A and B are shown apart, each in its own frame.
Chain A
Amino acid sequence: MNEKAIRKFRTALLLILVSAIVGYLIYTRIMAYSLAPTLEPRDFSKYAWYEIPFQFLWDYFSHGWICLLFAFVTAGLVYEFIPKQTITKYMSSSKVAGYAIGAGLAPFFTVCSCTMVPLFAGILYTGSGIGPAITFLLMAPAANILTILITGEFISWEIALVRIIVSLATAVLAGVVISKTSWGKAIEKEHQTSKNATVAQQRVELVKVLLDERLISALKFGGFLAKQILPYFILGLVVVSYVEAFLPQELVGGYLTGVTGVLLASVVGGPLYTPTLVEIVLGRSLLQLGMSKAALLSWLMGQPYDIPNMVAVSRIVRWKVVLTYALIAWACSVGFGLLYGIVTSSL
């Protein structure tokens, strides 16, 4: 066989694989299988302590494997096929475009924190300023494609959707506010490079890659993400299984509901650094144990101001900006949590 035929064959095979994964997920939706785990907190009482993590893990993976597989494959595909050059070009073209792309496309762009800080710095340096940079920074972890898919399937699509909307509002608000403060402006001035960003873009001539190689690289990236995230995810599940089994429902029902619940969840959500996706599982377990939906939203919104992230960013923009955006993010998580609770009467 010549090379062309091999390539065609490989492309077809890869496309079939991807379609099979997508198709199976759609099939489970049509047949209305539950992809979320089915164990309830009281089910744990029949297991010995050492059996609990295994039962919990089995429950998650036997139902959710297709959903996890789909999420990682999608994340890889989106990341590979998103027109990176077009976006990076327009992102630095004007303020409005900066905000729009920062908020609207950040979710698709960053599934991995290692691309986030460089892009943040890049946006800041290339002239769209500190506002869009902050918007991007807050939006990316709060509503990236992995998080949204897993939140939607494991908890509910209502929460996933609300999470996107409120994250967007928070991110834009924080960006706009910081760009108006004197310390935000100072950072912006300090970092602005005199060179025009469009001049720089001319030195980028990305090579074209054939479809089969792109698909392989997309799947590889999905695999890479899984390798990065899953070990912590599994470890997180083990811990969460004990939380769900042993944390008394009265405690959760007493403290994680009402206004106190929102406040508490928002305070704990940030500093308690949970690895990617584990916050969703822990949130789900707490919900099962009686946490209110409003508190759950505040809890999930707590992610962007986690400590390791803030440390990395503070090296570029100093603490004053970091504290400002953390404060805004926190205030918004409380505000939107309460609002959501009132609107859906689930406080």
Chain B
Amino acid sequence: MKEIKVEVMGPEPACVRCQAAKKVVEKAAEKLKQAGMTVKVEKVNIISKEIVGKYGLLVSPAIAVNGIVKVMGRVPSEEEITRLMKEAVK
């Protein structure tokens, strides 16, 4: 089984909406883990040079699944992020 890596990108210290995004992602990840998938959730700083170099200019909160930015500037629903994570390992 392939691993799913989710990066939740927001400023440091985290803004309210980035925290909300992280919560949704963690909730979805927890459920997928229980279903036997390997999910890694990471909170990364959107203001770091590394992230900007990797993804370019982003609007926070942004969510990348396995190295591809899927969501930018909004908080997705748990349903949606679950679907995105599942698609990434298909």
Q: How far is the CA of A198 from the CA of B57 in the complex (A)?
A: 10
User: Contact flags (1/0) for B3-19 with A, using CB distance below 8 Å?
Assistant: 00000001100011110
Q: A114–B59 contact, CB under 8 A?
A: no
Taking the closest CB of chain A, its distance from the CB of B51, in whole angstroms, is 9
The answer to whether B57 and A91 touch across the interface, beta carbons within 8 angstroms, is yes
Residues from chain A with a CB closer than 8 A to the CB of B17 are 112, 114, 224
Interface size for chain A: under 10, 10 to 19, 20 to 34, or 35 or more residues?
35 or more
A333 to B2, CA, bound (A): 57
A206 located at the interface, meaning its Cβ lies under 8 Å from any Cβ of chain B in the complex? yes
* Residues on the B chain within 8 Å of A195, using CB: 53
Q: Which of B24-32, B35-43, B69-77 contacts A (4 or more CB under 8 A)?
A: B69-77
| Complex CA–CA separation, A89 to B7 (angstroms) | 20
**Binary interface profile of B, 50-80, with partner A (CB < 8 Å = 1, else 0)?**
0011111111100010011111111101001
Chain B, interface residues (CB within 8 Å), range = 20 to 34
Partner of B52, one of A85, A126, A213, A220: A126
Q: Which of A193, A204, A228 contacts B68 (CB 8 A)?
A: A204
What is the minimal beta-carbon distance from A38 to any residue of chain B, in angstroms?
A: 35
Min Cβ gap B4→A in Å is 15
Q: Which residues of B contact A228 (CB under 8 A)?
A: 16
Tell me the number of A-to-B contacts counted with CB atoms below 8 Å.
Answer: 106
* A255 CB, min distance to chain B CBs, angstroms: 38
Q: Are A205 and B47 in contact (CB under 8 A)?
A: no
Are B59 and A121 closer than 8 Å at their CB atoms? no
Residue of B17, B52, B64 with highest tally of chain A CB at under 10 A: B52
Interface 1/0 per residue, A111-142 and B, CB below 8 Å:
01011011101110110000000000000000
> Interface code A72-85, partner B: CB below 8 Å = 1, 0 otherwise?
00000001100011
B72 touches A193 (CB 8 A): no
Contacts of A109 in B (CB 8 A): 59
Most buried by B among A79, A91, A109, A118: A118
Interface of A is mostly: helix
Are A207 and B58 interface neighbours, CB within 8 A? no
Q: Does A203 contact B (CB under 8 A)?
A: yes
Question: Given A114-B17, A117-B11, A123–B57 Cβ distance below 8 Å?
Answer: yes
- Is A10 located at the chain interface by the 8 A CB criterion? no
- List 23 A-B residue pairs with CB atoms under 8 Å apart, sorted by A's residue number: A79-B73, A91-B57, A114-B15, A114-B17, A115-B59, A115-B60, A115-B73, A118-B59, A119-B60, A123-B57, A197-B57, A198-B56, A200-B54, A200-B55, A201-B56, A203-B54, A203-B56, A203-B68, A205-B69, A206-B71, A207-B84, A217-B75, A221-B74
In the complex, given contacts A115-B60, A200-B54, A213-B77, what are 6 additional A-B residue pairs having Cβ atoms less than 8 angstroms apart? A114-B16, A114-B18, A117-B47, A125-B49, A193-B52, A209-B80
